[in-house]
Structures are given as C-alpha cells and as structure tokens.
Chain A
Amino acid sequence: MSIEVRHLSHIYGEGSAIRTVALDDISFTVEQGEFVGIVGHTGSGKSTLVQHLNGLLKPSSGQVLIDGEDLNGEKVNRRALRQRIGLVFQYPEYQLFEETVAKDIAFGPKNQKLGAQEIDRRVRKAMESVHLDYDTYAEKSPFELSGGQMRRAAIAGVLAMEPEVLILDEPTAGLDPRGRDRILSMLEDLREKEKKTILMVSHSMEDMARLADRLLVIAGGKLAADGTPREIFSDPERMAGLGLDVPEAAKLCAALRAAGYDLPRDLYRGEELREHILRIWREQRAEERAADGREARRTDAPASRTEVRKADEREAREAEGRAEPDSRADARKGAKPC
C-alpha cells in the first residue's frame, strides 16, 4: 500500500483572527515496506500531517492518495480505510478505557465487526507483538499497568486491527530508556518480520538513526528535506538552522573532523563511528610504535619493545571493551583514546 501526498496544505481557523497555516504545500510518496521518520521542531506541523494520512483531518487544499485513490473522495469509506492505516497518537495511553487490557485491545477489531475467535486471535497476536504477556496482563485493568506498559497496550489496540501501514506520533515520548528501547525493538520486529510500512514522528534523532530508512524534515509547515538519514545527518549546521538536532554520533563525528581527524562526514551510528575511531587509533599507535621501535633499536634494548607491545594490546582491548555498540555515551568514551 502506497501513500502519496500531493501539494497538501492545511489552514487552521480559516477566515478568522487566529488563522494559521499548519501545512504548506507538502508532497511526498511513501512506498510499501519503507520506514519513514518524520522530524521537525515542536509546532512544525508533524502531528497535523499524520492526521491527514488517515483522513482524520481534511486538507484545505491538495490530496492524499492511498494506492492512487483520493482519501477524501466522495465514495471512499474512510472508516474502513482508517483500519488499514493505523494511527497511534501521541501519549496513546490516555485513550485506554476498558475494564481489561484484552477488552481494550479488542475495541478496534470489534469495530471491524470481526468474529469472536478472530478477535481473540488478534488480541493475542497484538499483545505478543508489543511484548505484553497474555496470561499475565490480558485480564488486568489497563489502569494498573506502568506507563510504558500502558503505552504498549495502547499500541497493541491499533495493531490488533492489523493495519497495513502503521503511523506513530512520538511513540517514545516521556518513557524511560528501557520503555523506549522496548518500543523501538518492537517497531524493528514489525518491520523485519511483518514488512509493515511504518511512519514515525519523533523528536529523538537517536531513534531515527536506529530505525529510519528515510527522513522527512518538516519546518514551519513545509517539507524542508527528504532523504536518507545519512544524507540528512551529514549536515548538522543545516539541521541546527531548522531547530533540530542530529544524533550524538553525528555531532561527535563533526567535532572530530573539525579537530582534524580523517573521518567520513556522514557517520551517524554509534557503532560505525566506533569502528572508524578504533581504526584511527590503531593507526596512530602503530605509528608511535614504529617510532618507539626505532628508538629502542637505537638504544638496543629488545626487552622493552615487547613490553611496549603488551601494553598497547591491553589498552586496545580496554578501549574496545568500553565502546559498547549502540550507545551515545559509549561512543563518547570510545573517542577518548584518540
């Protein structure tokens, strides 16, 4: 299922004193199976944009085409379409209302008028996708869960409709690192195993670095950039101009390049940066060692040479041990030996 947005504009409060242009002539196409990140400053229009993608808001002008068909056309059954394009709102845990988690998750499938068996199957599957154990949580009240669990239960409520496209608005906002990681790995699974098309709005560039195939940058209601994370994160200054951050690894990379280190300009993942830093570090040590070696030969003391090498190896091991994959703090530490 493809989503095509054509010259989409949205104006709030048309014809009044509070008229604001929320979206201004936005066009892009999302293909089946893509993971698209939508980033932008607060108030840039991201949330307004995603609400257009399943017909909750009507564009002031322009079109949203689902598989080539206008979402706001007269004959389109928007309620049915909304079930094919699942939208998870910001802080979705505030929409929970049923007595039990299972009943709440069943709300969507029930609205699809499915049979009891099918509903049950879907509830179980959705809970499994969000890593909530069915036997433990199904009969609990959603209000007894922790914040992160509530969030996942709410996301399960959308997944249970088995949408072809999943849109999430700030799914990790306000969660602790562990809750955040759970949501992200859940999304990774959905992409890998179920090949779902996913659009995610987020402030967190780290999340985007980890997941997105493609980024849409929205600024002031306009589409400011559309490209791979590698392209977009390689220009931290431009992003700063749009009021946006880049991942810590990209920042560190830019700082190291400015300090004269030989790094490619488009690194943005912790692990790839670590590889490059280790490479440089090894090269430097090798040079030093060569210099030491020359000195040692001159003073003719072979014993010290092996000692130096041993010390080098120990240090290298430590450096590698410290630079654990996929963590910005560690990427910073990994840089220390330079």
Chain B
Amino acid sequence: MLTNITMGQYYPVDSPVHRLDPRTKLILTIAFIVGIFLVSNFSGYALVLGFLYFVARTAKIPFKMLMRGIRPLRMILIITFLLNLFFTPGEQVLVSFWVIRITAEAVRQAVFYSLRLVFLVLGTSLLTLTTSPVALSDALEILMGPLKKIHFPAHELAMMMTIALRFIPTLLDETDKIMKAQMARGADFESGNLISRAKAMVPLLVPLFVSAFRRAGDLAMAMESRCYRGGEGRTRFRVLKITRNDWIAAGITAAFLALIILSGKVLP
C-alpha cells in the first residue's frame, strides 16, 4: 500500500544512462524542461515523446514503470484539463448548454497543457529513476557550490536532502510495523467517517514521531562521534567525473532542443 510511490524511486539497473554523471543528468533534465516549454504544437510533442522513449529504452526502464509516476498527479491533471476546457475563450463553439461553453480552442488548449504536465513528470521521473538519491544530492551540492560565496548553505541543504531521502524507506517500514502492531491490538484504520479515521491515526502518529526524533538524535550523535563538522574541507568518497558519454548525452539533448525549436518554426 505504501510501496507504490514511483516519484523519486530509483530503479537499480546498469545502463549508459544510469552511468552518466548525475550533474550532466540534472542539467540535461533542466534543458529538457525548457525544451517542453518551447514546444508550440503537437508535432513538437511527438518529438518529445520520441526522445523520452529513446532515453527510457537506453536506460532499460520499462515504459510502464515510467508511466506509474503520473498516478499521484492524476488529480492535478484532471483539474488542469477541466479548467482549461471550461475557461478558455474561443470562437468555434462545440458544446453549449447552461453556463458551460466548450470551444475547439479550449479542447486543444486543455489537451496541450495536460500533455505538457505529463511530459514534465515523465522527464523528471526519468532523472530520479536512473539516478540514486545520494548521487542526485551530490550533484546538487556541486552545482550549487558557487552560491556558497554568498553564504548559501549548499552543503547543509544537500546533506539534509540526503538524510531525508535516506529515511523515507525507514520511516515507511516503521509506519507499517506500528500500524500492524496497533492492528494486532484491534485498531481499525480502514472504516469509519473522517473524524474517527483521523482519531485512529493518533496511535500511529505518536509512536512514529517519537521514533523519528529518537532516530534523529541517534544519527546526530553518530555523525558527531565521527567528527562531522559540516562541508568545509570535506572530501568525497565518490568523485564525480565527466566522461565521453556525458558529452554524447549533451549532444543528443542539444540536437533534440534544436529539432523542437525548428519544428515550432517549420511545422504547423
């Protein structure tokens, strides 16, 4: 029940995409997002879809796995779609009754923006599926490095992110365990109205908070006893290196961006 959250879930296989430098992947993902916003017509989206398919194939990630990332966003998708559908002004009226007026332009726009959202999620899931959270926060720390000059806490942020990500599965396990323990004492998490359900969460949340704080204390103690004192002068276990593959990936993404811009100019 708690295990099917794909957003930010690393899919551990070995592929050229997995082996890319996380910094490259991060920058290319940003470029990809920019690319999506440059798309102005549906033929551009065909290109985006093709590109996504190509990357997913190279990364050996099943397309089904990728699509699963959309599920948590389905409400937002539906709302976006409906809002655009009902509130876009246009000339060609398709349906009109009571206060509702749906125009051809509205349909086009609703589909267009919904697709944009879908592609945004798919692109970023590709990043998180192929990059372990630790590698990702390493990359973020290095990329935010120059900001340290203006006293931006890049290392601290990256460390917080790593720790938070590291403890998500632990806390999920813990939740599962406490839930079962309370169910063994006859707790009921599944039936009743909203208020009684919220009340039923107390026996779950209190122990969960207690244990989260205990863990945080233990972790801080463990880090301090190994002389952790922030990012200053800290070396890395995994030194990131840009290789030939990173340049190839950058080249492919650049070609993709160029094609998108071109398609916006040339095709309808």
Contact = CB atoms under 8 A, between A and B. Distances in A.
Contact of B186 (A92, A95, A111): A111
B203 interface: yes
A111 B199 CA distance: 13
B100 interface: no
B181 A97 contact: no
Interface stretch (B40-48, B135-143, B204-212, B246-254): B204-212
A54 B184 contact: yes
Nearest to A104: B203
Q: Is the interface of A mostly helix, strand, loop or mixed?
A: helix
A44 B183 CA distance: 24
Contacts, number: 59
B182 interface: yes
Contacts of A97: 202-203, 206-207, 210
Contacts of A86: 184
Contact of A92 (B12, B181, B202, B203): B181
B186 A108 contact: yes
Contacts of B184: 54, 56, 82, 86-89, 158
A158 B203 contact: no
Interface string A117-148: 00000000000000000000000000100000
Given A94-B210, A95-B178, A97-B207, A56 B183 contact: yes
A79 B188 contact: yes
A54 B188 CA distance: 15
B94 interface: no
Contacts of B206: 97
A107 B210 CA distance: 18
Contact of B185 (A17, A143, A158): A158
Nearest to A89: B181
Contacts of B108: none
A79 B200 CA distance: 15
B180 interface: yes
B185 A108 contact: yes
Given A51-B180, A92-B181, A112 B186 contact: yes
B5 to A, nearest CB: 14
A157 interface: yes
A96 B182 CA distance: 9
B203 A107 contact: yes
B38 interface: no
A337 B250 CA distance: 79
Nearest to B13: A17
B183 A95 contact: no
Contacts of B207: 94-97
B205 to A, nearest CB: 8
A44 B253 CA distance: 48
B212 to A, nearest CB: 11
A158 B180 CA distance: 13
A134 B185 CA distance: 21
Which one of A54, A94, A95, A107 has the highest number of Cβ atoms from chain B below 10 Å of its Cβ?
Answer: A95
Contact of A94 (B185, B186, B188, B211): B211
Interface string B216-236: 000000000000000000000
B25 to A, nearest CB: 22
B177 interface: yes
A158 B181 CA distance: 10
A56 B183 CA distance: 8
Contacts of B202: 97
Nearest to B184: A87
Nearest to A87: B184
A79 B181 contact: no
Given A97-B203, A97-B206, A107 B183 contact: no
Nearest to B182: A95
Contacts of A111: 185-188
A234 interface: no
A118 to B, nearest CB: 14
A267 interface: no
Interface in A180-233: none
A83 interface: yes
Contacts of A88: 184
A5 interface: no
Interface string B104-136: 000000000000000000000000000000000
A145 to B, nearest CB: 13
Nearest to B211: A94
Nearest to A18: B12
B209 to A, nearest CB: 9
Interface of A: 17, 51, 54, 56, 79, 82-83, 86-89, 92, 94-97, 107-108, 111-112, 143, 157-158, 161
6 contacts: A56-B183, A89-B181, A107-B187, A111-B185, A112-B186, A158-B185
